[in-house]
Amino acid sequence: MIPRMTTTLYGISNCDTVKKARAWLASHGVEHQFHDFRKEGVPQPQLDEWLRDFGWEKVVNRQGTTWRKLDAAQQAGVRDDASARRFVLAHPSAIKRPVVEWAGGHRTIGFDPAAWALAAGQ
């Protein structure tokens, strides 16, 4: 993986967890860009990397509202990287948030202040 020069936080602007994450980055002096899935779409090359790095079970937020609104057959249809990829491209709010690509090249998914401190070099 090539180290990134800028930290990028991916998520949805009105998500409470994303709001906490953005506040954490600001309070720890971590300059970052924000990529809103709803406004800018899901970046497919990054999605492929997230699926490879984390696995579809972690990328798809099966605790969220979007997932819970699906019927059992739709949920059963998401069973591997390919089906998860199609699903989250159609339903970006089903991606576990936030996904962060840190300036040093490390990636995290979800908000974990302790892991983030390590990733941010603090």
Is residue 60 a contact partner of residue 87, using CB atoms and an 8 Å limit? yes
Q: Residue 8's beta-bridge partner residues?
A: 33, 101
Structure tokens at 15: 């998500």
- Given 9, 15, 18, 78, the catalytic residue: 15
Q: Is 15 one of the catalytic residues?
A: yes
Sign of CA dihedral 57, 58, 63, 64: negative
Chain centre to alpha carbon of residue 47: 9
Read off the pLDDT band of 4 (50, 70, 90): low
pLDDT at 118: 87
3-state DSSP call for residue 61?
coil
Give residue limits of the domains in the chain: 7-119
Q: Which H or E run includes 114?
A: helix 113-119
Average pLDDT over the chain reads 93
**What is each CA distance from 113 to 21, 67, 70, 106, in whole angstroms?**
8, 25, 31, 15
Each residue of 30-87: pLDDT tens digit?
999 999 999 999 999 999 999 999 999 999 999 999 999 999 999 999 999 999 999 9
Nearest to 110 by CA among 95, 99, 122, 121: 99
Given 2.60.40.1250, 3.40.30.10, 2.40.40.20, 3.40.50.720, which CATH number is that of 7-119? 3.40.30.10
